[in-house]
Structure 1
Amino acid sequence: MRVMVIVKASPSSEAGEMPSEQLLTEMGQFNEELVEAGIMQAGDGLKPSSEGVRVHFSGSGRTVHDGPFAETKELIAGYWLWEVESMQEAIDWAKRCPNPMMEDSDIEIRPLFESADFGEELTPELREQENQLQTDIAMRAATVQTYLFFNGRCEEALEFYKTAVGAKIGMVMRFNESPEPMPQDMIPPGFEDKVMHCAFTIGQTTVMASDHPADVPQFGAFRLALTVPSRADADRVFDALAKGGKVDMPLSETFWSPHYGMLTDKFGIGWMVMVCGENSC
């Protein structure tokens, strides 16, 4: 489920008082934890209402009112968008948050509407329109990179590309350096020192690669690595790409991404769909 976590305004935030270095540091650390856990989708602080406006609607009329606005306790000073398993999980995370204000303050948690909440009024046509809009929005923040697979010759290939096209080698991680044990059926004897993941650039383009045995057919020679902002986006895009194709690895949590899966679409193109994680962006 998705929730908006609302930081309510206070006298100090409405006065435009800036947070201390200590609070900025603590909030930065909290946000890092949220991102690493795959919880945070977005978040920002808001300037005081004195710098905002309200647009009043009355029939066909529109009236603009300049801030500041009264009733500080009804205003907001910042927000997050979180994707959590339950309201209780959101509450647990909120309790870990540093006090965002200099004085006593409140954080409000509100679930976002999901398509299922609208019942039959959301017709199949409207549901399809909503899904397309969500996909279009997510794809604006998505990235696609080429991922190459070599049958134990990745390191040799890197040296070849350095000479042939001036490739610049970035990070290289070997199977024996993995933070989590790899399934034995994926790592044949002698592959411990092979490349589990690497990145290199040719000109302005970054390419990723790794070693995989030839007897693991679902990998193929290459795949397109699609990174999207949230688990909901990953679910939606993964299901859409898999129609008429086949799922090679269902979406699940890995040490490099909170939501990662592999599929082959109906045209035979392999995809890796993932949410940006600590070791995937």
Structure 2
Amino acid sequence: MKVMVMVKASPSSEAGKMPSEELLTAMGKFNEELVGAGIMESGDGLKPSSQGVRVRFSGNKRVVTTGPFTETNELIAGYWIWNVNSLEEAIEWVKKCPNPMEEDSDIEIRTFYTMEDFAEIDPDGKEAAHEDAMRHTIAMRKAKVNNYLFFSGRCEEAMNFYQQHLGARINFMLRFNESPDPVPEGMLQAGFENKIMHADFTLGDANIYASDGCDDATSFSGFSLSLTLQTAEDAHKAFNALAEGGKVNMPLAKTFWSPLYGQLVDKFGIAWMIMLPGEDAPQ
């Protein structure tokens, strides 16, 4: 069951008075408990209504009114979104909450509608399917995409190389023989027990995952990493370092979209595009 837990406004919250350090700490600990229990989805405090607006609907008319609003006991100063097993569970959690105001205050719990509540007016499930599609679209737009590179046994060497020449930062590295779970028998090529099972490193503003894979047969095709630098000197240094032991497909040169652009494949088989930003340069 999803519920919204609303902290009602009070004279002090509407006056914009900030919570004491003691209350801030206590609320922080309460939020930690909610997160630890796995029920908290989100939660925020709201600024006073003096910094808000209302839009009144009357037929086709829309009337905008700026705050403050006088009905303090009807206003909201903050909220949480919780996923609980029952309304009773939500009530027990609210009882544990520190008083969020310096004066007497109220916290209101309201349950969310679900599409099952609209079954009678949506008998064919068309609107439910539409809602589900929109939720999936929102979830996918919030998803994080990372490049995952497989180095056929040269992962550690490659990350150290990129660290030295491109300023990469190695964040994490786990070898197959360090795995908490045993690697299935026959999964690894002989001699790969000490190779990198999973690692991640940061290059520029991108976080990249990496692995040796399970054997030395992996090859890259139809894939490039694009690296945009700010000066010609830096572009040449990066290009020359990556070209050592690799293959230059297009030397650094001026193009219609970039003052300096080139393509190469480094000695680990990774394809790169090195460029300076231009008005129409790919970002």
TM class by smaller structure: 0.5 to 0.7
Aligned to 2:113: 113
Aligned to 2:255: none
Q: Distance in 2 between matches of 1:35 and 1:80?
A: 11
Whether 1:16 aligns to 2:16 is yes
Deviation (angstroms), 1:41: 2.6
**Which structure 2 segments of 5+ residues have no match?**
221-283
Deviation (angstroms), 1:173: 5.4
Q: Distance in 1 between matches of 2:95 and 2:153?
A: 48
Deviations 1:211-256, CA, capped at 9 Å, x for gaps: 7867xxxxxx9xxxxxxxxxxxxxxxxxxxxxxxxxxxxxxxxxxx
Aligned to 1:131: 132
Whether 1:207 aligns to 2:220 is no
Deviation (angstroms), 1:33: 4.1
Helix, strand or coil at the partner of 2:31: helix
Aligned to 1:234: none
Deviations 1:66-114, CA, capped at 9 Å, x for gaps: 3333332222111122233333443343333322111222211111111
Aligned to 2:147: 146
How many residues in Structure 1 have an aligned counterpart in Structure 2? Answer: 212
Q: Which one-letter code corresponds to 2:199 in the other structure?
A: C
Q: How does the TM-score come out when normalised to structure 1? A: 0.59
Helix, strand or coil at the partner of 1:145: coil
Q: Percent identity?
A: 59
Structure 1 residues 14 and 64: CA distance shift in structure 2, 3 A? same
Deviation (angstroms), 1:192: 9.7
Structural mapping, 1:132-211, within 5 Å:
132-147=133-148, 155=156, 158-159=159-160, 162=163, 167-172=168-173, 182-184=180-182, 197-209=198-210
Structural mapping, 1:267-278, within 5 Å:
none
Q: Distance in 2 between matches of 1:177 and 1:143?
A: 27
Helix, strand or coil at the partner of 1:24: helix
Aligned to 2:102: 102
Structural mapping, 1:30-69, within 5 Å:
30-69=30-69
Q: CA RMSD in A?
A: 3.7
Aligned to 1:251: none
Q: Distance in 1 between matches of 2:211 and 2:98?
A: 41
Q: Distance in 1 between matches of 2:94 and 2:214?
A: 45
Report if aligned partners of 2:2, 2:84 keep a CA contact under 8 Å in 1.
Answer: yes
* Higher RCO (CA-CA < 8 Å; seq separation 6+): 1
